Chains A and B, each alone.
Chain A
Amino acid sequence: DQQVKQNSPSLSVQEGRISILNCDYTNSMFDYFLWYKKYPAEGPTFLISISSIKDKNEDGRFTVFLNKSAKHLSLHIVPSQPGDSAVYFCAASARETSGSRLTFGEGTQLTVNP
């Protein structure tokens, strides 16, 4: 039962353009959502998060949007830079019922071309 899905295994964009990574979830108990970034041979690093009481959170070039009715969230990176090339994981937590357990999506490989 894949509760968090990232349907695009890969995405390629030009430097300076917008990157949009998508994530869908099925568990209505999820109330906190996170994006992690992972470079090869390294562990994932936290990028940005959003609580279910918000629909947008922005941090520099990174913005996460949450559409609760559609059970969908997206990560926007503007402008994209070659150093953003990495695997991006969407993760979700149901804090009331599962504490700090994170459920991850499969990941999307982002490639930003110079």
Chain B
Amino acid sequence: EAGVAQSPRYKIIEKRQSVAFWCNPISGHATLYWYQQILGQGPKLLIQFQNNGVVDDSQLPKDRFSAERLKGVDSTLKIQPAKLEDSAVYLCASSLIPWGGGYNEQFFGPGTRLTVL
């Protein structure tokens, strides 16, 4: 079974530029998550989708970050314009079914390492 795919793996941009990341979750997984992991910190949830609807975007800096999951499968995360403090690894994860009862394991992709100069 293929895992969560992300691209690009690495990206270097200058501040004030725009950047987009792509995620393809595991086939059949209804829930998709985007996390930001700054060096020396744990992953922080930015946004969670249930199919193509947003469930939780309370920690997404909406003035510069946006995300979409138009057909309930692939997702893109965009930063416009980027700031120096956006340098981080952006992780995408997916899980099979919505939260309810027991834990639904989140499977993570390898991440995209963003460097903003």
A interface residues with partner B (beta carbon < 8 Å): 4, 6, 9, 32, 34, 41-46, 49, 89, 91, 93, 95, 98-102, 104-107
Contact = CB atoms under 8 A, between A and B. Distances in A.
Contact of B31 (A9, A41, A100): A100
A107 to B, nearest CB: 6
B: contact size bracket: 20 to 34
9 contacts: A32-B103, A41-B110, A45-B108, A100-B104, A101-B48, A102-B106, A104-B43, A106-B40, A107-B41
A39 to B, nearest CB: 10
A4 B45 CA distance: 14
Interface stretch (B12-20, B67-75, B77-85, B91-99): B91-99
B55 interface: yes
Most buried by B among A99, A100, A106: A100
Interface of B: 4, 31, 40-45, 48, 55-56, 91, 93, 95, 98-99, 103-111
B110 A42 contact: yes
Nearest to B10: A41
A43 B93 contact: yes
Where chain B touches its partner, the secondary structure class is loop
Contacts of A6: 42
Contacts of A42: 110
A43 B109 CA distance: 5
Contacts of B56: 98-99, 101
Given A43-B109, A89-B42, A106-B42, 5 more contacts: A4-B42, A42-B110, A98-B56, A102-B43, A104-B44
A53 to B, nearest CB: 12
Given A32-B103, A41-B110, A42-B110, A89 B43 contact: yes
A43 B103 contact: no
Contact of B108 (A32, A44, A98, A105): A44
